[in-house]
Structure 1
Amino acid sequence: MREIFVERNNDLLRIAIKDKGKLNRCFVEDISEAPNIGEIYKGRVKNIVPAINSIFIDIGLNKEAYMYYSRELKEEGIKKGDELLVEIIKEPINNKGAKVSRNISISGRYLVLTLGGKGISFSKRINSEEEKERIKSILKDIDGYGITVRTEAVHASEEDIFLEREEIFFEISNLINKLNYSLKLGKVYGENIILNKVIRENLNNECKIILNNEDDYIEIKNLVDKYENIKLEKYEGLRSLFDFYNIEKEILKLRHKKVALNCGGNIVIDKTEAMYVIDVNSAKNIKGNNFNKTIMETNIEAAREIGKQILLRNLAGIIIVDFIAMRDFSQKVEVMKELKEALSEDKGNVKVFPFTDLDLVQISRKRRGKSIYEYLEEPCKRCNSEGYVLKISYIENLIRNKIIKSLEESSITSFYIELDRNYEEVVRGDIFAFLKNIDALDKEIYLNFVDGIEGYKVEPLIFNNQKENLKMYKINQPEKYE
């Protein structure tokens, strides 16, 4: 069974996906007014710059979006002042606005409709010609639209496929009406798009969705009510949903660079300023006498694990993989096949390029939300930002969960907390905010800053002699102010 966990706290949305109890995807998004991939806007052409083949578009936000000035647009005679629908295909970065496209599309569980496309195409994972013919007979072509059939359609009835096509077609028709009759520039489709898109793309025949937010629960209930074998559950606990279901522990493990392989080898994942680099090592895989077989075995297993880790850590941009050198071209074919298969669930977001002469493989993956590193880590101030430490906001959340768990289990209200000395300046600078964030304004806290620990430690204090030994670290409750 697939389990989807959706946790929303303040301005942060986290979604984790488990298959058969194993974590395989994790999405993290800051909730802000900035445009997100997949949202659709009504925009107005502000400027056309042929020298850089770009069109700049006002979409009702502070930064103008930009779009490639394609041959089709030139032939169409697009000009300054024209209004059009555009879809966000790349989020804004620094001073650069969002990149957009005229090829707007809306996806459902079984289908994707693209305005301006044509014909019916199928997911590469649908191999049955009989199934393709069955689905084609249901859909028929729609003039001015391209239809992409998703993998889940093979499990759907004729009625389900037809109804979804009509629903999406009606949605796009509404967007065209907004373009023609609304005077306002801005977003016309995509409220809560990240949550809806992840849920739609990851539903399967048997699925359970657990959410902690009432509004999200209602929205997803409306989305999945028509499907059988999809169970919804509302989490009501005080601890964060990810902590209660032990997902937090699994996420923390993703900070480790080295990932062991069952064969005895390992992969090492490093982040540079420009890209991610993944190195494959045979390490302890020396049990066999056949050197070529050992290399092949390690590379094959590494390819599977690399695909898994790219999706799990949400790595994006340029990714370089350094496999162990192979002499036989047929071995490279097999390794490439395994790598592509491991990334096949990424729904068209990733490209894998052939081996170079140095046995390097280049992967390009579209950015979608934060990588696990961006979410967990921040530059270390004590080493002039040359290293990384856990974000204090993340540590506060972990400590809060520890405190709540202790209260639930034994009603303890006194705690000794050790923090890495990296955090001393920021915590002492606003001790009230720290106590508030860990839900400890009404508790007895002993706080110490030390070197050589990974982040933090929390110890419940049960006996008076413990408190007496630690009295030098006791925090006097600061004045409660707004």
Structure 2
Amino acid sequence: MEEIFIEREKDSLRIAIKENGSLKECLIEEDNSEPSPGELYKGVVKNIVASIKCAFIDIGCKKNAYMLLHHKFDNDKIKVGDEVIVEIMKEATGEKGAKVTSQISVPGRYVILISHNNKINFSKKIEGNTQFIEYVHENINKPSDVGVMVRTNALNSTIEDINRELEELYDSYLRILKQGKHSLKLGLLYNGGGALGRLLIDVINEDTSKIIVNSQEDYGHIERFIKNKSDINLSLELHKDPQSIFSLYNIEKELLSLRNSKVVLPSGGNIIIEKTEAMYVIDVNSSKNTKETSIDKTAFSTDLEAAKEIARQIMLRNLGGIIVIDFIDIESNEKRKRIIQTLKEAFKNDKKKTIVYPFTQLNLVQIARKRRGKSIYDYIEDDCSLCRGKGKKIKLTYLNNLIKNEIIKISKEYEFKDIHIEIDEIYKKDILGNVIEFINEIEALDKRVYVSFISNLEYFKVEALLFASQIKKFENIKIYG
């Protein structure tokens, strides 16, 4: 069974999905002005480059978006100065702006409403179900000026659910068109609820048993969404404890463990995940796996076990683009096919388009996975200036949040006014450079704070100073209070 934990802070939303007690996926969304895939924007055409059939569009962001021109999208006749409504297909990277399309969509849990189309299409998992397809064609209340994609979730719902959602989506679509036509301002028209919206329409299913959320507003939004949904049966809980959800349920530690490049397998083998400029590279090692009686059996059993864990780690860390796996050498084509099949099976519930290619002559497997959002590393880590960008460190903002939660946790046990923090010396300049900001972020304005900066400290430590002798010992490193 799945449990979902939703934690909203002032500048971010974090969603953790656990399956049978094990962390399965984590969605993170930060408040910023950068466009994200699925969002709809009003823009104006600034430039057209006919040689590459591409238009550059100001959507009110730092960089102009770019859009490929094609008659099937009914956009090959646009001119400089035209106002357009576009959907973000790919977020901005480096110097390149976001990729957009004029064929916009408004997604729901059961159907997706699509412009520049008036057909009814079905997801691949439905295509063979002729009885269901005929039933939908006969009973769906589809507006004549839009197309509809019927999603796999519709199989477990009723036609009343489908038609009710389709009506709601069409009302949203008309409001978007109206706002896009009459608004004088360029920018965001619709975001579908962001990461929370994607969770509700894409992720929760009949296996989801519980959602725990710390925001009253999010609680109300989820409650309204799941009401009258015949395929959803879960309990919704509002978290009121001052200690954060991720801290209380030990999710924070699991997230931080994803910084480790090595993942140990139950058999004793391991996988090593490394990032290069162009791709991610994953190496499989038998290491301490001594359960099998021969080298060939050890290699095969380790590769099979690694295939499942690799898929889990890719989804958990949100790795995208090109991923190359160096499995332990296997000569048998039949065994290679089983490894590939195991890998594909492990990705079957992946919401991002993922293609697993066969083994190459060099015994490598290549995976192409659609990028959507940042990897987990981008949220947790910064380049380390002390090693000239060759290493990584936990972002101070992220670390501050962990320290704050630890202080709240200790406050449940003791009443205190003095707190001692041990932290790596690489943060010394940033902390002492703006002490008030640091104290405010860890919510210790009512405390006296003492900080020890220690070389090569992997994590951090927080302790309450309860006795005068302790306080006197750290008096010379007090930074606030």
TM superposition score normalised by structure 2: 0.91
Q: Residues 229-255 of structure 1: CA distance to partner in whole angstroms, max 9, x if unpaired?
A: 233322223222211222111111111
Q: Report if the CA contact (8 A) 1:138-1:161 is conserved.
A: no
Structure 1 residues 363 and 397, CA, compared in 2 at 3 Å: closer, same or farther? same
Q: What secondary structure does 1:409 align onto?
A: coil
1:350 aligns with 2:351: no
Structure 1 residue 308, shift from structure 2 partner: 0.7
Residue of structure 2 equivalent to 1:215:
217
Residue of structure 1 equivalent to 2:89:
89
Letter in 1 for 2:29: E
1:46-195 correspondence to structure 2 within 5 Å = 46-70=46-70, 72=72, 76-117=76-117, 118-124=119-125, 130-139=131-140, 145-180=146-181, 182=183, 184-190=185-191, 192-195=193-196
Task: Please list every run of 5 or more consecutive structure 2 residues that lacks an aligned counterpart in the other structure.
Answer: none
Q: What secondary structure does 2:479 align onto?
A: coil
1:374 aligns with 2:375: no
More off after superposition, 437-446 vs 447-456: 437-446
Supply the distance in 1 between the matched residues of 2:312 and 2:340 (Cα, whole angstroms): 14
Q: What secondary structure does 1:79 align onto?
A: coil
Residue of structure 2 equivalent to 1:196:
197
Q: Report if the CA contact (8 A) 1:88-1:101 is conserved.
A: yes
Residue of structure 1 equivalent to 2:405:
401
Structure 1 residue 134, shift from structure 2 partner: 4.5
Q: Report if the CA contact (8 A) 1:406-1:412 is conserved.
A: no
Structure 1 residues 75 and 438, CA, compared in 2 at 3 Å: closer, same or farther? closer
Letter in 1 for 2:262: K
Structure 1 residues 301 and 142, CA, compared in 2 at 3 Å: closer, same or farther? farther
Q: 1:326 aligns with which of 326, 330, 342?
A: 330
Letter in 2 for 1:264: G
Structure 1 residues 343 and 440, CA, compared in 2 at 3 Å: closer, same or farther? same
Residue of structure 1 equivalent to 2:245:
241
Residue of structure 1 equivalent to 2:299:
295
Supply the distance in 2 between the matched residues of 1:14 and 1:75 (Cα, whole angstroms): 37
Q: 2:227 aligns with which of 207, 225, 228?
A: 225
Letter in 1 for 2:153: E
Letter in 2 for 1:387: G
Supply the distance in 1 between the matched residues of 2:449 and 2:81 (Cα, whole angstroms): 61
Q: Residues 366-425 of structure 1: CA distance to partner in whole angstroms, max 9, x if unpaired?
A: 332221111111112222221111111111111111111111122233322111111111
Q: Report if the CA contact (8 A) 1:105-1:113 is conserved.
A: yes
More off after superposition, 170-179 vs 457-466: 170-179
Structure 1 residue 82, shift from structure 2 partner: 3.6
Task: Please list every run of 5 or more consecutive structure 1 residues that lacks an aligned counterpart in the other structure.
Answer: 478-482
More off after superposition, 70-79 vs 220-229: 70-79
Residue of structure 1 equivalent to 2:24:
24
Q: 1:391 aligns with which of 391, 395, 398?
A: 395
Letter in 1 for 2:159: E
Structure 1 residues 225 and 448, CA, compared in 2 at 3 Å: closer, same or farther? same
Q: Report if the CA contact (8 A) 2:27-2:195 is conserved.
A: no
Residue of structure 2 equivalent to 1:462:
466
Letter in 2 for 1:20: N
Supply the distance in 2 between the matched residues of 1:304 and 1:320 (Cα, whole angstroms): 15
Structure 1 residue 261, shift from structure 2 partner: 1.5
Q: Residues 249-293 of structure 1: CA distance to partner in whole angstroms, max 9, x if unpaired?
A: 111111111111123221111112222111111112233234333
Residue of structure 2 equivalent to 1:264:
268
Aligned-pair identity in percent equals 43
Residue of structure 2 equivalent to 1:317:
321
More off after superposition, 243-252 vs 351-360: 351-360
Task: Give the alignment's Cα RMSD to 1 decimal.
Answer: 2.5
Letter in 2 for 1:166: E
Q: Report if the CA contact (8 A) 1:44-1:59 is conserved.
A: yes
Residue of structure 2 equivalent to 1:480:
none
Letter in 1 for 2:156: H
Structure 1 residues 475 and 83, CA, compared in 2 at 3 Å: closer, same or farther? closer
Letter in 2 for 1:265: G
TM superposition score normalised by structure 1: 0.91
Structure 1 residue 172, shift from structure 2 partner: 2.5
Q: Report if the CA contact (8 A) 1:265-1:298 is conserved.
A: yes
Structure 1 residue 24, shift from structure 2 partner: 0.7
Q: Report if the CA contact (8 A) 1:44-1:82 is conserved.
A: yes
Supply the distance in 2 between the matched residues of 1:75 and 1:110 (Cα, whole angstroms): 28
More off after superposition, 463-472 vs 158-167: 463-472
Q: How many residues align?
A: 477
Q: 2:457 aligns with which of 453, 456, 466?
A: 453
Residue of structure 2 equivalent to 1:438:
442
Q: Report if the CA contact (8 A) 1:45-1:82 is conserved.
A: yes
Supply the distance in 2 between the matched residues of 1:232 and 1:71 (Cα, whole angstroms): 46
Supply the distance in 2 between the matched residues of 1:134 and 1:293 (Cα, whole angstroms): 50
Q: Report if the CA contact (8 A) 1:123-1:149 is conserved.
A: no
Residue of structure 2 equivalent to 1:426:
430
Structure 1 residue 142, shift from structure 2 partner: 6.4
Structure 1 residues 207 and 145, CA, compared in 2 at 3 Å: closer, same or farther? farther
Supply the distance in 1 between the matched residues of 2:432 and 2:75 (Cα, whole angstroms): 63
Structure 1 residues 429 and 181, CA, compared in 2 at 3 Å: closer, same or farther? closer
Structure 1 residue 144, shift from structure 2 partner: 5.8
Supply the distance in 1 between the matched residues of 2:398 and 2:457 (Cα, whole angstroms): 16
Structure 1 residue 436, shift from structure 2 partner: 2.0
Supply the distance in 2 between the matched residues of 1:290 and 1:128 (Cα, whole angstroms): 46
Q: 1:360 aligns with which of 360, 364, 368?
A: 364
Q: Report if the CA contact (8 A) 2:421-2:449 is conserved.
A: yes
Supply the distance in 1 between the matched residues of 2:265 and 2:470 (Cα, whole angstroms): 43
